Structure 1
Amino acid sequence: MKLYADLPVRRARQLAGDLLLLAWIVLWSWLAAQVHDATLRLAVPGERIADASTAMAERLREAGETVADVPLVGGEASRPFEGAGGAADELAAAGRSQVEAVQTLAWWLAIAVLLVPVLLALAFYLPPRIRFVRRASAGQRFLDSAADLDLFALRALARQPLHVLARVSDDPARAWREGRPDVVRRLAALELRDSGLRPGVLGSERPVSGGR
């Protein structure tokens, strides 16, 4: 797999793009963590309410148990304490529910802050990078297998703009069919550059068959 171009300028741009993408992901990961932590601070009042209400319920029940030991009126007198303890439990449960809701909100906000910009960047950046890797890797396999220039020259005839082909020859298709080595190599060089491969990797002494 060929990840980067042979040409220095294009390779530098690709490396810079990859590093910028990585920095973008790191930046939004940090921002997502900050949003998560800031949102979690909203849960502090709920935590305090839950802790205080739980402690109050325990004290009220202890007081009720103490009053219950009083002869004759103890059982009747302890009921208000039991009711107040139950109300404190409900308040503590409400505080815990608030904490859980804030924690859930914090996670979803962090995920949204991270995924939206990162996915947008990946959607714009990755497709052309993947196309380059596939194209350059395929082209490199042909080079490594010592394929001649014809395939690259033919692809250049099919893919390159007409004004670019006109700079190679007045009639590049005819020159390719006649197997003119200079034109075929120049055509192949166009396609190799677009594929991110160094044109000089194909030796100038390699025989050119052209379209014949």
Structure 2
Amino acid sequence: MTLYAAAPARRARQLLGDLLFLAWTGAWTWAGLRAHDAVLELAAPGRATMNAAGDIAGQLRDVEDRIAGVPLVGDDLTGPFGGMASQADGLAAAGASLVETVGQLALAVGLAVALVPVLLVAVVHVPLRVRFVRRASAARRAVRQLSAGDGARAAALSELFALRALANQPVRKLAAITGDPVAAWRDGDEAAIRRLADLELRDLGVRR
């Protein structure tokens, strides 16, 4: 698999692009974690309420159990304590619900902060890199297969990539090779065809 171009300038640009994408991803991941933690702090009152109400409910039930053992009047006195314990349980449940809701909100905010900017760049960067890797890998396989063959197959390979260069490369690069690259390809100028093919191969990340 060919990850980077053979041409030094393009390889440097690709490396820089990948490093910037990784840095961008890391920065927004950190920002997402920070946003998650910041929103999660809003759950502190609910957590405190849940813990305090739970403790109060437990203490009220302890008192209720002790009073229940008092002869004659125990059953009558336990009613208010049981009611207050139930109310405390309800308050603790409300605090737990608030903590759960804030936790879900914190997760959603953290993912949104981290993923949205990363995906906006990834939808452009990743397909371009995947397209280059696939094209370069296919070109490398073709070069290896046909370079091992006879001279006619090697010549056909050069003509094929020279034709691709005529279709894909900027005019200024083609003109730097020969004044009339189309005529050179049509006339079978071996030197010009080889230089055109090498130009396309370098763009695909491959050297002969």
Aligned equivalent of 1:179: 188
Structure ranking higher in helix proportion? 2
How far the C-alpha of 1:29 sits from its partner, in A, is: 1.5
Aligned equivalent of 1:96: 96
How far the C-alpha of 1:50 sits from its partner, in A, is: 0.7
Unaligned runs of 5+ in 2: 148-153
Secondary structure of the structure 2 residue equivalent to 1:3: coil
Secondary structure of the structure 2 residue equivalent to 1:71: coil
Per-residue CA deviations over 1:129-184 (Å, capped at 9, x if unaligned) read 11111121122122222133111111123334556545544543332232112221
Per-residue CA deviations over 1:166-205 (Å, capped at 9, x if unaligned) read 554454333223211222123223322322334xx3xxxx
Question: Considering only aligned residues, what root-mean-square deviation do their CA atoms show, in Å?
Answer: 1.9
How far the C-alpha of 1:101 sits from its partner, in A, is: 0.8
Aligned equivalent of 1:11: 11
Per-residue CA deviations over 1:79-127 (Å, capped at 9, x if unaligned) read 1111011000000000111111111111111111111111111111111
Secondary structure of the structure 1 residue equivalent to 2:109: helix
Compare 40-49 and 154-163 and name the one that shifted more. 154-163
Q: Which runs of 4+ in 1 moved over 6 A?
A: none
Counterpart-to-counterpart distance in 2, 1:6 and 1:193:
6
Counterpart-to-counterpart distance in 2, 1:164 and 1:47:
68
Aligned equivalent of 1:159: 168
Q: 2:37 aligned with 1:28, yes or no?
A: no
Counterpart-to-counterpart distance in 1, 2:31 and 2:168:
44
User: What is the identity percentage for the equivalent residue pairs of Structure 1 and Structure 2?
Assistant: 52
Secondary structure of the structure 2 residue equivalent to 1:184: helix
TM-score by length of 2: 0.86
Q: Are the counterparts in 1 of residues 57 and 88 from structure 2 also a CA contact under 8 Å?
A: yes
Counterpart-to-counterpart distance in 2, 1:171 and 1:106:
63
TM-score by length of 1: 0.85
Q: Are the counterparts in 1 of residues 6 and 203 from structure 2 also a CA contact under 8 Å?
A: no
How far the C-alpha of 1:53 sits from its partner, in A, is: 0.5
How far the C-alpha of 1:73 sits from its partner, in A, is: 2.8
Unaligned runs of 5+ in 1: 202-212
Q: Does 1 or 2 have the higher relative contact order (CA < 8 Å, sep 6+)?
A: 2
Which residues of 2 match residues 1-212 of structure 1 at below 5 A?
1-145=1-145, 146=147, 147-148=154-155, 149-161=158-170, 165-198=174-207, 201=208
1:66–1:86 CA distance, 2 compared to 1 (3 A): same
Counterpart-to-counterpart distance in 2, 1:33 and 1:166:
53
